[in-house]
Structure 1
Amino acid sequence: MATHPAIPDRLMELARAQAGVLLWDQIRHCGLSERTVHRLVHDGFWTRLARGVYLTHCLAPDWLSLAWAGYFVAGDEAAIGGQAALKLAHIIDDADLPIPIVLPHTSPHRVSTSWWSFTRTRVPFRTMGDLPRLRTERAIIDLCAADPDRSAHWVTLAAGSRKASVQRMREELDAMPQCAARRQLSELLADAGTGIHSPLELVYLRDVERAHGMAPGRRQVRSGSYIRDVYYDEGLIVELDGRTGHEGVGAFRDMDRDNYHTMQGRPTLRYGWEQCHGTPCRTFREVAEMRHSLGWTGDIKRCRRCR
Structure 2
Amino acid sequence: MVRERLTTPQRLLADLDSRDRYRRRALIRGVLADVAGGACSVLEHAYLSGVERPHRLPRPRRQTPTGVGRRGLRDIEYEEWGLIIELDGRFGHDEARSRDADLERDLDAAVFAGKESLRLGWGQVVGRPCLTAAKVAAKLRRLGWSGQLARCPKCPKSRSGDTGRHQTSS
Same fold at TM > 0.5:
yes
Alpha-carbon distance between aligned partners in 1 of 2:102 and 2:5, rounded to the nearest angstrom = 21
1:141-290 correspondence runs (5 A): 158-224=1-67, 225-232=71-78, 233-248=80-95, 249-263=97-111, 264-290=113-139
- Measure how far apart 1:161 and its partner are: 2.1
Which structure has more RCO (C-alpha within 8 Å, separation ≥ 6)? 2
Alpha-carbon distance between aligned partners in 2 of 1:291 and 1:200, rounded to the nearest angstrom = 21
Instruction: Detail structure 1 runs of 4+ shifted over 6 Å in the superposition.
Output: none
Q: Which 5+ residue runs of structure 1 have no aligned equivalent? A: 1-157
- Measure how far apart 1:250 and its partner are: 1.6
Q: Is the 8 A contact 1:281 1:306 kept in 2?
A: yes
1:55-134 correspondence runs (5 A): none
Match of 1:68 in 2: none
One-letter code of the match for 2:90? R
One-letter code of the match for 2:119? R
Describe the SS at the equivalent of 2:50: helix
Describe the SS at the equivalent of 2:126: helix
Q: Is the 8 A contact 1:242 1:272 kept in 2?
A: yes
Match of 1:299 in 2: 148
- Measure how far apart 1:304 and its partner are: 1.2
Cα deviations across residues 39-90 of structure 1 (Å, max 9, x unaligned)? xxxxxxxxxxxxxxxxxxxxxxxxxxxxxxxxxxxxxxxxxxxxxxxxxxxx
- Measure how far apart 1:179 and its partner are: 1.1
- Measure how far apart 1:298 and its partner are: 0.7
- What is the root-mean-square deviation of aligned Cα atoms in Å? 1.2
Q: Is the 8 A contact 1:209 1:215 kept in 2?
A: yes
* Matched-pair identity in %: 39
Q: Is the 8 A contact 1:159 1:196 kept in 2?
A: no
Describe the SS at the equivalent of 2:149: coil
- Measure how far apart 1:188 and its partner are: 1.1
Q: Which 5+ residue runs of structure 2 have no aligned equivalent? A: 157-170
- Measure how far apart 1:163 and its partner are: 2.6
- Measure how far apart 1:187 and its partner are: 1.1
Cα deviations across residues 146-181 of structure 1 (Å, max 9, x unaligned)? xxxxxxxxxxxx232233211111111111121112
Aligned length: 150
One-letter code of the match for 1:270? R
Alpha-carbon distance between aligned partners in 2 of 1:178 and 1:189, rounded to the nearest angstrom = 17
- Measure how far apart 1:193 and its partner are: 1.1
- Measure how far apart 1:299 and its partner are: 0.6
One-letter code of the match for 1:211? P
One-letter code of the match for 1:277? V
Alpha-carbon distance between aligned partners in 2 of 1:209 and 1:217, rounded to the nearest angstrom = 9
One-letter code of the match for 2:101? R
